[in-house]
Amino acid sequence: MRRKLFTVILPCLNEDRTILKCVKAIKKSLDKSKYKEAYEILICDNNSTDKSHAIYKKHRLNFLIEKRTGYGYTVMAGIKAAKTKYIVMLDADMSYKTDDIPKMVEELEAGFDFVVGNRFLGQIHKKAMPLSHKVGSRILTEYANLLFGINLHDHHCGLRAFDRKKILASGIKTREFEFDTEMIIRAKLSNLKMKEIKTDLFRDGRNRNPHLKTFRDGFKCLRLINQIKLAK
């Protein structure tokens, strides 16, 4: 069997309303692309307590369970478990455009090490992102850009693709919400070749409040940015 080129990682915590829809959308997007035979999907579950596990088993989905609480723990477990050259990651709540995945992989094959979506270049659909998240994300992103000389303008976009080994070697330490921010900073400090692409953001399919807490998690990101800068 030909070795897969990339793994699509789906961090998941109580996403039983959307996880199967998300897997099907990814397959639909990739099966009509030139990467039809080149990918695998891995659900990285952070010890969900809803019906997610039953869905994985019923539909024979590829999954792992990370019992340590934290978004970063969950994503890193998937990155380490994958054996492919590249990783694509996105949220499992149907908020991202899966047709962008082939475009991102093409950029990796063209020589980039890290590709991230920029929702502010695309369309943010109604009720997809609260105003507080928009403002906070833009401020934190541009603050990190100023400190580290980064030219990416949506550090909190969950849709991203990267060279697996190079990200593992970059020295990411945090295992909570700030993981995405640190990934970009460490990629810059490791001199990885980075690019952003336009993407859209849709209202997610949850029937509950998001895990993200604007002020708590925003402060954690700010603290992390400053800690890395001071440690240089």
Establish if 158 belongs to a structural domain: yes
Which distant-in-sequence residues (6+ apart) come within 8 Å of 52 by Cβ?
Answer: 12, 14, 15, 16, 19, 45
Return the amino acid letter for 7.
Answer: T
CATH of the domain at 153: 3.90.550.10
Q: What is the pTM of this model?
A: 0.94
pLDDT of residue 207: 62
Residue 13 has pLDDT above 70, yes or no: yes
Which residue range forms the structural domain that includes residue 76?
6-231
The C-alpha atoms of residue 117 and residue 6 are separated, in whole angstroms, by: 17
Of 22-31, 192-201, 217-226, the one with minimum mean pLDDT is 217-226
Q: What is the pLDDT of residues 112-133, one digit of tens each?
A: 999 999 999 999 999 999 999 8
Average pLDDT value for residue range 88-103: 96
Residue 211 has pLDDT above 60, yes or no: no
* Band of residue 180 on the pLDDT scale cut at 50, 70, 90: very high
CA atoms of 108 and 168, how far apart (whole Å): 16
Q: What is the pLDDT of residue 215?
A: 66
What's the structural domain count of the chain? 1
Taking the C-alpha atoms of residue 177 and residue 147, their distance in angstroms, rounded to an integer, is 20
Contact 162, 86 (CB under 8 A): yes
Instruction: Decide if 1 is inside a domain.
Output: no
pLDDT at 210: 59
48 inside domain: yes
**78 domain-assigned:** yes
% of the chain exceeding 90 in pLDDT = 88
Look at residue 145 and tell me if it is in a domain: yes
